[in-house]
């Protein structure tokens, strides 16, 4: 315990799902954690975890500036930024409305760009010296194609390469940037898929059967612990890496 003691961390999209799981592990390991989300109900999640909360739309640069201004004012430094906020889109390319394409990229890619931009600016000014860890949530769909995933895949693939550029630009000053690529994780983002099925339990069983490991991932255990490692000083020699947590989903064809 205490692997993040003394660190100041920001996690976007922390009201539920992966963000909540990451925030849970960060607070358990001693980080002073600020959770943000466009959903004001994130305040309840943050309170339950012992974290602070701010309402934030990651598409807004002014919003990012406000979040970092409050972080620096309160704590004088920012050590970890997790760009987790995201939305899903699964329409085929010829059936994807332009506004859906734009919104998906605005949240999933532009939001991460703004998070990286302002995280680097803040970390360069850290009291005690520059340095920090930026963790960007991509997806296995950022590594390969997916049927019906044109907007989502483009956004997550963009996150993957943006991560490498940020890592390269800032390696010499101790600011690391890595991407996490989850597979099928049991979060509320799966609920609409199951709700659309006439037999949700059979659908769940079919998904789990298709995974080499045989079950869906769990947010805090499988993604939270990976983010914890990347946020901690245990991973100081790792930057620009693609950390895949997918139960074997991408190692071979089913």
Residue 152 among the catalytic residues: yes
From the list 75, 152, 215, 237, the catalytic residue is 152
Using alpha carbons only, give the angle 88, 93, 99 rounded to the nearest 5 degrees. Answer: 60
Mode of pairing for the β-strands spanning 8-12 and 242-245: unpaired
183, containing H or E segment: none
Handedness of CA 123, 126, 132, 135 (dihedral sign): negative
> What are the percentages of helix, strand and coil residues in the chain, rounded to 5?
50, 15, 35
Instruction: Please choose, from the candidates 121, 101, 22, 109, the residue with its C-alpha nearest in 3D space to the C-alpha of residue 58.
Output: 109
Tell me 27's DSSP state. Answer: H
Catalytic amino acids? 152
């Amino acid at each position: 315990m205490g692997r993040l003691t003394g660190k100041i961390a920001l996690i976007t999209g922390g009201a539920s799902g992966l963000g909540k799981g990451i925030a849970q592990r960060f607070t358990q390991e001693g980080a002073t954690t600020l959770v943000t989300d466009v959903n004001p109900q994130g305040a309840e999640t943050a309170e339950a975890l012992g974290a602070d909360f701010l309402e934030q739309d990651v598409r807004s640069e002014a919003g990012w500036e406000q979040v970092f201004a409050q972080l620096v004012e309160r704590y004088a430094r920012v050590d970890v930024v997790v760009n987790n906020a995201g939305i899903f889109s699964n329409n085929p390319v010829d059936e994807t409305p332009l506004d859906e394409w734009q919104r998906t990229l605005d949240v999933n890619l532009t939001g991460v760009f703004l998070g990286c931009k302002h995280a680097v600016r803040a970390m360069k000014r850290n009291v005690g010296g520059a340095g920090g860890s930026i963790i960007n949530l991509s997806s296995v769909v950022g590594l390969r194609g997916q049927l019906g995933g044109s907007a989502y895949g483009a956004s997550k693939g963009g996150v993957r390469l943006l991560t490498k550029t940020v890592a390269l630009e800032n390696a010499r000053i101790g600011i690391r940037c890595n991407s996490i690529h989850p597979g099928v994780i049991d979060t509320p983002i799966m609920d609409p898929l199951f709700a659309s099925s006439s037999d949700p339990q059979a659908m769940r069983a079919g998904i789990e059967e298709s995974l080499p490991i045989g079950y869906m991932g769990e947010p805090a255990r499988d993604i939270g612990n990976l983010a914890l490692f990347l946020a901690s000083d245990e991973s100081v020699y790792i930057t620009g890496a693609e950390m895949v947590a997918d139960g074997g989903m991408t190692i071979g064809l089913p």
